[in-house]
A = this chain, B = another copy of it.
Amino acid sequence: MEGSTVPVSQDGQIASPRRAPSQQRSRERVERMLAAASALIAEQGSDAMRMGEVAERAGVSIGSLYQFFPDKRAIIWALAERYTAESQACIAAALAQVSDAEGLRRAFSDLVDIYYGLFLAEPVMRDIWSGTQADKALRELELADSRANAEFLTAVLKRLRPAADPAALETTALLIWQMGEATMRLAISVGRQEGDDLVAAYKRMALRELVGQ
Contacts and interface: CB of A to CB of B under 8 A. Distances in A.
A197 B179 contact: no
Contact of A133 (B134, B172, B181): B134
A174 B171 CA distance: 23
Q: In the assembly, how many copies of this chain are there?
A: 2
Interface string A172-207: 101100110111001001100010011001100100
Interface in A125-166: 130-134, 139, 143, 146
A209 interface: yes
A183 B178 contact: yes
Interface of A: 11, 46-48, 130-134, 139, 143, 146, 167-168, 171-172, 174-175, 178-179, 181-183, 186, 189-190, 194, 197-198, 201-202, 205, 208-209, 213
Contacts of A132: 134
